[in-house]
Amino acid sequence: MNLSFHTISNSPDEIFMGHKIWFEPVPGCDVISATANAPGFTPLIAVARHFGWDYDMLERAAAACNEKGEVLIVTSVVPTLILVPATKGRGNTGKVMWDFIKALSATEAQCLHFTHFGFLQSRLPHQEIAVILDYFLGMILPHTLKSITFDIDERRIKQLYGLMRPTLPENENDDF
């Protein structure tokens, strides 16, 4: 299984307005996962705009996903969409990830485009990402999955690197 990080450059207008407008899909991915944030100019709606998906249907699906606090698979769109409830850092990331992995398995995905952190208006959610990476790197994934592309907002790439970089004893940092 291949895990790659896709640095997303958001336009100055998107950043200033706090509205995600554009989405660039990863070629060949058969499943996209997005946070169930709709309506408005959210990353989910940018994905929908790119593919020409029905906004009203997505708004209803996102509302149901958030109301139940459970992952939801939308099979009426291509590529398949996995919606994850909006937790805003207050959810149980482990439980959500376990539901996510079960949903991913049900789709028999081969290539996942994980869009959740491609547009961040605040700090990097370190704890959530650490749990997600534990699942991805711990290989608790469906056997059908060949690759994951993990979107990360370019403004937060140094924070992501800091999260993944091992802490070295003080004397070992002298060579850097």
Give buried/exposed letters for 13-48 (b at 16+ CB in 10 A, else e): ebeeeebbeebeebeebbbbbbbbbbeeebbbbbbb
Q: Is residue 176 included in any domain, yes or no?
A: no
CATH number at residue 68: 3.40.220.10
Q: One digit per residue, pLDDT tens: the chain, 176 residues?
A: 899 999 999 999 999 998 999 999 999 999 999 999 988 899 999 999 999 999 999 999 999 999 999 999 999 999 999 999 987 666 688 899 999 999 999 999 999 999 999 999 888 898 899 999 999 988 788 999 999 999 999 999 999 988 887 776 665 555 55
The tally of domains found in the chain comes to 1
Q: Is residue 175 part of a domain?
A: no
- Please check whether residue 100 lies inside any domain of the structure: yes
Domain that holds residue 105: 2-6+19-165
